[in-house]
Amino acid sequence: MSSFRVTRRSFLKRTAIAVASTVGFPVIVPPSALGLNGTVAPSNRIALGFIGLGAHARAVNLPTFSMQPDAQVVALCDVDAERLRDTHLTLQLLAPEDESASAFTGCFTTGDWREVVARADVDAVVVSTPDHWHVIPSIAAARAGKDVFCEKPLSLTIHEGRVLANTIRRCGRCFITGSELRSQGVFVRACELVRNGHIGRLESIYVELPRGFGAFSSPEAEAENHEGFEEKVPPWFDYDMWLGQAPMAPYTTRRCHGQYRFIFDYSGGNLTDHGAHFFDIAQWANNSEHTGPISVEGTATFPPKGLFNTATDWNLTYEYANGVRMTCASGLAIIRFEGSDGWVEAGPQSIQASSDCILATRISANDFHARTCPGGEHRDFLDCVKNGRATYAPAEIGHRTATIAHLGNIALRLGRKLRWDPGREDFIGDASATAMLSRAIRSPWRLDA
């Protein structure tokens, strides 16, 4: 019997993760992650099942968790059988030399996430799927008594996020939304400066997010109707399972594997992808993590045709009940807080302010201290699974953050100002907007409240 909150059923003696051929960044796992030198007994490790083995899972989540001495990867799942095979093969190749091939069984592999959730030897799941597959497996895992690490954005729709947050609360499970900015010093520092009044009364927030479609395509290329063509589904790829709740659509490689996030059936573009990070910091600094804005309006440019249909450029304005206005525009990746007595701005690995005095301000013992974890979201999750505390980005906060992005996309698509009731989580006097709080779910999948 393990010492932490969940029941630990030992499945593997040792494992190692290296991500090489598919990502390009090999990870060498230290002895502590292999269970050598008596660091942490295998029976006292948190057994993890990975659902989704895309680029972020293989480059970040798998190697980071595998290097934690109190974590053990026991199950892998992906609808791409080649990707699943390659990841599992890496585990087998890295088996310790003192173990025979028959003794080292590797970990369980499957193309169906339900088999991971059903396993008694899985304590927690790591959901790194495309966005439209975040909520249903997370809910199933929680109801099966498992804790959940889920990538952002938390949901495909606002209704989905609410059902997930409610389920996690009812089941009493540990949950974290993958939100690495909450462990990065520049963003923690900016939030503490704002929350403690060191720029005066907060008046406005400016968020800038990357435009377009990343490295996959340009807005100009999409305007030329580069929709692609219907291709034959590879025999190793379970396309029907990949689609899941989304509408049936012709298969093309441009629809899957990273590019999905620029198609509304599966995600919400950079507004949900990068916005999930920066809106989280905005909510944190504004002390509105458990609520949200009261109105949203904006304009955007959408591809006139083509497969990708999320906004390429946009300018949004949100209003909060406390008088704070937040502007979100397409551009780079920064967040700026402006107050009555100055401003502070944070971006990747950088922070600046209107004066050196603000940056040099000491946060005293009695001031607000942001709940963070220097070891990152993976470490915070494992610690909270064991000690029963709430993570620094639980389901309710992840849901409220994703809601900001969804509200923006709804306003942009409808082309008008919307009034929002963050308590009821409904639009005021706009039936068309309310209808966009949820989406039809393709059978046999369902979302039970």
What pLDDT, in 10s, does the model give residues 272-327?
999 999 999 999 999 999 999 999 999 999 998 889 999 999 999 999 999 999 99
Sketch the domain layout of the chain as residue ranges. 190-233+261-370+396-422
**Least confident span in 29-43, 111-125, 131-145, 162-176:** 29-43
Residue 352 bridge partners (DSSP): 345
pTM of the model as a whole: 0.89
Between CA 324 and CA 271 the distance in angstroms is 20
Between CA 268 and CA 271 the distance in angstroms is 6
φ, ψ for residue 378, nearest 5 deg: -70, -45
Predicted pLDDT at 214? 73
414: tokens are 């409808």
∠ Cα 374 380 385 (to 5°): 160
Q: Per residue in 394-416, is it b (16+ CB within 10 Å) or e — as a string?
A: bbbbbbbbbbbbbbbbbbbbeee
Predicted pLDDT at 99? 40
∠ Cα 381 385 388 (to 5°): 115
Between CA 152 and CA 403 the distance in angstroms is 12
φ, ψ for residue 373, nearest 5 deg: -150, 110
Segment holding 68, helix H or strand E: none
Give CA separation, 293 vs 158, 279, 335, 425, in Å: 14, 11, 17, 10
Query: Cα torsion for 381, 382, 385, 388, to the nearest 10°?
Result: -80
Three state DSSP letters for 96-144: CCCCCCCCCCCCEEECCHHHHHCCCCCCEEEECCCHHHCHHHHHHHHHC
Residue 360 CB burial class (10 angstroms; 0-12, 13-18, ≥19): exposed
**Least confident span in 117-126, 251-260, 418-427:** 251-260
Residue type, 356: D
Strand pairing report for 350-353 and 342-347: antiparallel
Confidence of residue 16 (pLDDT cuts 50, 70, 90): very low
- HSE, side-chain direction, 13 A CA sphere, residue 416: 9
Predicted pLDDT at 21? 35
Is the pLDDT assigned to residue 136 strictly greater than 80?
A: yes
**Least confident span in 10-19, 66-75, 407-416:** 10-19
Dihedral sign for Cα atoms in the order 165, 169, 171, 175: positive
- SS3 state at 227: coil
More confident site: 412 or 218 = 412
Is the pLDDT assigned to residue 13 strictly greater than 70?
A: no
Residue 338 CB burial class (10 angstroms; 0-12, 13-18, ≥19): buried
Residue 338 bridge partners (DSSP): 204, 343
Q: Count CB neighbours of 378 within 10 A.
A: 24
Confidence of residue 220 (pLDDT cuts 50, 70, 90): low
Taking alpha carbons only, the member of 2, 15, 352, 401 closest to residue 186 is 352
What CATH number has the domain spanning 190-233+261-370+396-422?
A: 3.30.360.10
- HSE, side-chain direction, 13 A CA sphere, residue 299: 0
How many percent of the chain have pLDDT more than 90?
78
Predicted pLDDT at 40? 76
